[in-house]
Structure formats: structure tokens, C-alpha cells
Amino acid sequence: MQMYKSLPAAFLFQMVVGALCLGAISAWGPAWIGVLALLGLRPVVLKRVTLGEDKNVWAFYYRITKMSVVSLSVTIILIYAAFGLFSHSSPIKGIWMLMLIPYFVFIHGLFGLIYSLRKD
């Protein structure tokens, strides 16, 4: 298994790409979802190291992904609640659902950065 040498840098890169994509979609429209393609540059920019099959690494990624999915689910519920209270339109018609993809990338990078900097 290969992993990035600097996990904080990898997760920070993911956060920056997610934030750029969120900003681009909200400013210039849904066609800017293509900004997520910048994630493909991460293996080129950051160095990787080879690891053995370590269950701690898989547990680390599982924990980060689980927290990101829970936060995304809460966000979806809050969006629907806000649209239900303040508007009679559906959020699916707008770009709200499209913005959840870069939001997940940003949140996954945020939780990964927090957990990779944590000293256990």
C-alpha cells in the first residue's frame, strides 16, 4: 500500500481544491465542477511512500470517511429543512446538490487534516 509522505499536506491540498471548487461553482455556475480535476495533480505534486498492509492506516481512513459522510448527511438534512421553512422550492432544482460533492471533498480534507495533526 502506498501513502503520501506528508498526510497534512495531502489533506490540505484536498481542502484547497474543495474550497476552490465551491467558490467557482457559486460564482460562475455548475460547469466549474471540473475544478475537482485538480485532485489528479496530488500524486504528481506530493511524494508517496510504500507501506505494508497496516490495519491502522485503513482504520484512520475509515474514521475520516465515516465522519465526512455523517457531516454531509447532516448538511443535506439542514438544506432540506431550510428550504422547507423559508421557501417552497426544492433544492434539487438549483446547484445545491451539485455543491455537495466539493463540500464532501473539503470536509474530508478538513477531518483528515485534524486527525493527521492530532498527537495520540
Helix axis angle for 96-117 and 7-28, nearest 10°, is 160
- Say if residue 118 is exposed, middle or buried (CB neighbours under 10 Å; 0-12, 13-18, 19+): exposed
pLDDT computed for residue 66 by the predictor: 96
What is the pLDDT of the chain when averaged over all its residues? 86
The total domain count for the chain is 1
Is pLDDT of 87 > 80? no
Residue 120 has pLDDT above 70, yes or no: no
Q: Which residue has the higher pLDDT, 55 or 114?
A: 114
Asked whether residue 91 carries a pLDDT value surpassing 70, the answer given is: no
**Helix, strand or coil for residue 89?**
coil
* 88 has pLDDT over 90: no
Task: Decide: helix, strand or coil at residue 118.
Answer: coil
- pLDDT tens, 26-57? 888 888 889 999 999 998 989 888 876 777 88
Residue 90 has pLDDT above 80, yes or no: no
At residue 24, the pLDDT reads: 92
Domain, as residue range, for 94: 2-117
